[in-house]
Structure 1
Amino acid sequence: MDGTTLYAVDGGIARITLNRPGARNALNDQMIGELLDALDRAKHDDGVRVIVLTGAGDRAFCAGADLDGLGRDGMGVNDVRDSAPFRLFTAFPALGKPIIARLAGHAVAGGLGLAAACDLVIAADDVKLATPEVNVGLWPMMIMAIINRNVAPKHAFKLYYTGSRITAAEGREIGLVTEVVPRADLDARVDELAGVIASKSPLGLRRGRDAFFAIEGRPLEDQVAYLLSELVELAGTEDAKEGITAFLENRPPDFRGR
C-alpha cells in the first residue's frame, strides 16, 4: 500500500504507518480512507495477530486533522455516522485484534485521540501530548469520547481547558500512555511487546477483546452473566484445550486460532 498510509506484515505483526511526515502526519481525507482500508485489511488477514500503528519520522505521530486538506466531512453531512472521522474512530473496538500505538513523535488533537483509541501506547520519553483545540476556539469534541475512557475527569478537564502540552511520562501517570521508554529503545520495546502478544491464542485475544468492549456500560449482573457465557464458550475451543495441555506438558502451546 502506497500513499499517505503504508502497510507491511512480518511475523504476524501488521505495521501501519501514517506517511505524511512533511505535514506532521496530519489526517486528510486520503489518509483517513487509506487508514480505514489498512485497518480492515489487518482485521481480515488471518496471518495478522497484532497491529502496530505509528507515524513516519520522529517529529509527530499525528498532528490531528489537516485543516487545509481535510474536507468538512463530518461537520456538514446529514448523518455524521456516514463521515470518515466517525468511521475511523469507531473502527478500533471492532478490530478483533490488539493494536499498539508507537509514538516516536508528538500526538496532538485528533492524533492524541488516534493514539488513545489503540489498546496500548508505547512512547519515546521526549514525546509530548496535547489537546490544543481550545486555543483556536474549538473543543476536542469527538476525541473526548476516546480520551474520557482512559483519563479521570480532573485530568481530562485540565487537558481540555488549557490546551497545554504534557510529557509522555505525565501521559502515563494519567492513563493515556502504557509505557515510556528512551528513544533509542522504542523500536525494540514495541517489537518485544508485539511479539509477546502475537504468541498468544488469536481466538482468545479476539474473544477477550470483544468482550472488553461489549460489557461497557452494562449493569454488573449483566456483565458477569455475559462474561461467564463467553468463558464457557472459550474453554471449549481447540486453542484453550491446546493451551491447557501445553501447560500441563510444560511446553509452548501451538495456537491455531480455532
Structure 2
Amino acid sequence: MLYTADQVAQLPGLHADSDGFRYLLVSLHNHVLTITLNRPEKKNALNPAMLNELAFALAYAHYTSAVWMVVLTAAGDTFCAGMDLKALSMGDTEQARVPEPLGPVRIGEIMADLHKPCIARVQGPVYAGGFLLVGGSTYVVAADTATFSLPEVKRGLFPFQVLAVLLDCMSARTALDLCLRARTLSATEAKNVGLVTEVTVINELDMAVSRLTDELKQFSPTAMQFGLRAFQQLKSLPSSEQQAYLFEQFRQLQQTADAKEGMTAFLEKRQPKWRSE
C-alpha cells in the first residue's frame, strides 16, 4: 500500500469538517465503501491528483475493518476514459488534498492489494487505462449499453499494464487480441470473454449491484479477505510452496473471531454475526 494506516485514519470526504476529495465522491454505508469517479467533464480520465486520491481511498478500504467491500462507480456518461495523457505529461500543479504517496501509483497493483471484494458498477464506456479498474475488480456489473475499448495501438502505444490485468480474466490469446486489434466490445461480448461478470439494463444497474453486495454481506468478511490475499500471493509462489502456504493460511483463519463465530452459529443453527476479525 502507498499509504499507511495512520495516514488514512481520517479519510477526506467521510467527515463533516473535511474539504473532501477533488475528483472522488466517497461514502461508507453498511460496510460498503462506494468510491465514485467524479470528473465527468473529462470523462473521468485519470490525472495525477485523481490517481493519488484513488490510491488513498483504496488504502482506507484496505485498512478499515468496517469496510467489507468496495463499489467503484463513476459520474457522467463515461465510466473512465483511461489515463489523462496531457496531465500526466505536463505534471500536476494542483494543491493536493491527500498526502503524497510513498511511491508511484500503479492502479493494477493497488487494486490487487485491496484484498476485499470490489464491484465495478459500469454505466458507460471504458477506455484504455480504465480497464485497470474494471479488470482489477472482483466483480463487474455493467449496463447493457456500456462498451469496452483499448485504442492504444491506434496512437502508437500499447496497453502493457492492462495486458497483465487481462491475463487474470481471460485466455492469453483473447487478451492479446483485444490489445492488438483495438476492437470495441459490447457489454455482452465483454461478459463472454470474462471481463464482465453480469450485464443488466441501465435502469436496473443499482439494483443488480445491491443484490450482489447484500449477498456478500451474508458471508465472513475475514474469510473473503484471507482468500483474496492468498489468491494474489499464489502468483508469486513456486508450485512447490503453494500447498504449504495455503495450509498455513487455513490454520491462521481458523483462529479468527469470524471463523469461531461461523462454527458456533453452524452448531447452534443460527445466522452468524460477523465482526470482520
Give structure 1 stretches of 5+ with no counterpart: 74-80
- The one-letter code of the counterpart of 2:206 is D
Q: 1:232 aligns with which of 220, 229, 251?
A: 251
Partner residue of 2:104?
Answer: 83
Q: 1:13 aligns with which of 20, 32, 39?
A: 32
Distance 2:41 2:250 in 1: 47
Distance 2:236 2:171 in 1: 16
Q: Specify the SS of the correspondent of 1:90.
A: helix
Identity of aligned residues (%): 37
1:161-218 per-residue CA deviation (whole Å, 9 max, x = no partner) reads 1111001111111111111111121101111211222332222111111111111153
Distance 1:225 1:83 in 2: 33
Structure 2 length normalisation: TM-score?
A: 0.85
Distance 1:82 1:240 in 2: 35
Q: Specify the SS of the correspondent of 1:7.
A: strand
Q: Specify the SS of the correspondent of 1:14.
A: strand
Distance 1:156 1:46 in 2: 35
Q: 2:232 aligns with which of 205, 213, 217?
A: 213
Q: Is the 8 A contact 2:21 2:53 kept in 1?
A: no
Partner residue of 1:126?
Answer: 145
Partner residue of 2:178?
Answer: 159
Structure 1 length normalisation: TM-score?
A: 0.90
Distance change in 2, residues 1:37/1:82 (3 Å): closer
Matches within 5 A, 1:38-117: 38-57=57-76, 59-71=77-89, 82-84=103-105, 86=106, 88-117=107-136
Q: Is the 8 A contact 1:13 1:198 kept in 2?
A: no
Deviating runs (4+, > 6 A) in structure 1? none
Distance 1:102 1:198 in 2: 17
Superposed displacement of residue 44, structure 1 = 2.0
Q: Specify the SS of the correspondent of 1:54.
A: strand
Q: 2:268 aligns with which of 249, 253, 256?
A: 249
Distance 1:71 1:5 in 2: 22
Q: 1:36 aligns with which of 50, 55, 58?
A: 55
Distance 1:235 1:98 in 2: 20
